[in-house]
Structure 1
Amino acid sequence: MRAFDGTRVVVFGLGGTIAMKSAAGGGVTPLVSAADLVAGVPGLADTGVAVEVVDFLRVPSASLNFTDLAELAAAIDAELAAGATGVVVTQGTDTIEESAYLLDLTYAGPQPIVVTGAMRNPTLAGPDGPANLLAAILTAAHPDARGLGVLVALHDEIHTSRRVRKTHATSAGTFASPNGGPLGYLVEGVPRLLNHPGPRLTVPRPPSGASPRVAIYTATLGDDGALIPKLGGEVDGLVVAAMGVGHVPEQLVDPLAELNARIPVVLATRTGAGSTLTGTYGFPGSERDLIERSLIPAGWLDPLKARLLLRTLLGSGTGRAEIAAAFAVAGGRLPHTRWPWA
């Protein structure tokens, strides 16, 4: 008996580089169906996994939106309720770190959901799509992946959606988890998990039609803060991608404090790794100064993840105190027992 006999994995194709081929006008575009992607994976038939496909979308991932992902989440729920062992989502790598985390925020089921893609399209020598898709299917079928939420599998590495980031524009090894490393690896076709991502943290799924606008504002050298009041009138929440451990130019302090009196403002670090601090520095514009003005520190969450958490919380009707508590837990400053939801 083969290792994965009796397992059933549903592959949802969303497009992206993994599904691209040459177009008449030049360049590549997502034209390959999910069925053709699966059919082109060497060795898949020998694994014993029964694979079903859903040709959900064919778009570059930069064009995915919140409505697409809400509909995808509902479709995934239906397949898992019907008995699927796990689900794989293929999409473009531009937004994998965002879409995977967004799915994870409202998914509480035990079956694995694994997101994958490719950096080298099928027209190039050595496309990585088939290997990545095989790794994702095997991970979704493996019992050790149960209970871990939404995972990301590329380049024979398995990452939790909470930590994974795209770190290089073109490298096949672009995905990394700077804060903690990958959960495991594919070794001889078998997922080997070496560490655990910690307790699951899920949020009530926002009702259909909820569409709060949350922006990211990057603090930069010489910034005078003049744009912040203008931006504040257009959004329901703001994430500041701050310098270092949570610092901004002094000129930004008053505009951010005034904005935070009207909408939640979250303080994240733009560095790509590490946590915001809460009490080390005390100058105007330091993390301590901003937190004393009630800005919400994001902890280990990078600006992209912080934006998605804040948007989901706002869409669910969460109040300011619960938003602050959620970021304290998700950002690693409080234990999971303080999470506002069961």
Structure 2
Amino acid sequence: MEANGFIDEWGPEKIIIIYDQKTKTKGIVVIDNSALGPGKGGIRLVPDLTVTEVFRLARVMTWKNALAELPFGGGKSGIKGDPKGDKASMLRAFGKALKSLCPVEYLAGPDMNTGAEEMRAFVDGAGNPKAATGKPTDMSGLPHELGSTGFGVAESTQVAAEFAGIGLNGTTVAIEGFGNVGTFAMKFLSEKGAKIVAVSDSKGTIYEPNGLNYDELMKTKKEKGTVLGYPSGKQLPTADLFGLDVSILIPGARPDVITEKNVNNVKAKIIVEAANIPVKLESEAILHGRGVTIVPDLIANAGGVLLSYTESIGGTKEQAFSLITERVRKNTKMVLEKAKNESTAERDAAMSIAKERVLAAMAKR
């Protein structure tokens, strides 16, 4: 079985394959490690989903939740399907199949191609409003459409820029992906004075050395369905974004976008991992060797799970954003300082803290 290659001392504890005959919904759930609490992680909906991808993302959640000091373990799930299909039916069927698991063993949430309305359908299927976070506000939810992940990315980026001695004001930034994370990262970074010169989506990259206007780009995306319709700047292939001459690079879409094939094209001094596992580990090592500062996904994109935690305890949007500011800034600084003091890679510094916390919880079982 595919899973045999990645079972280790941390997990995964459970891999569940779901198939609903009525809706033809195919799904995967991975509960990686529940020492700190129920497996927490979102539901992505993509046509090319694999067990390996879901496991890797669940493992990231194990470490991310530990670093964020939350009472959650690591989990992740996904539906293998067309994001343009009947998402409500798929999510409802998926929720029904996971009724016995949620929220005691697995707590769902939004992820790629799923949002508040999909969480409504999921908890309807599961028969329990507590089966997922990221629900609509009329269900006392705190939807990810509030921009929590992008907000956290902006906070983390600001700390990294200050740590590198360049600050954010006028500093050039390129953002891969203009979905929920990318749009809000751009919004909050622009408000902090950063100069966003490039943004990409699945159709391509728009590069404007004089800086892109957030409101204009949002209008363009809404009207034309792509960032490429922006009134000025140069249109480039999507992949060209990673080689642009910018100070800060923010990969914010799919995993493994910076690999041995393009790592030598990267010119940025700082990389903030807004997406989960966007840089291959071997490429992270090469970049570290070149003196590039990398804020790992475990720290940079924790805004989403911090919002989820706030929802799970009945908190408000204001409390969530306050918690994100405090935890993300503190943890970014802690990891960057630890990496510098110990002459190690940022991911290694983050991982050593996370493993220590999970090990301590496992020892108490």
Q: TM-score, normalised by structure 2?
A: 0.29
Structure number with the higher strand fraction is 1
Which of the pair has more CA radius of gyration? Answer: 1
Structure number with the higher helix fraction is 2
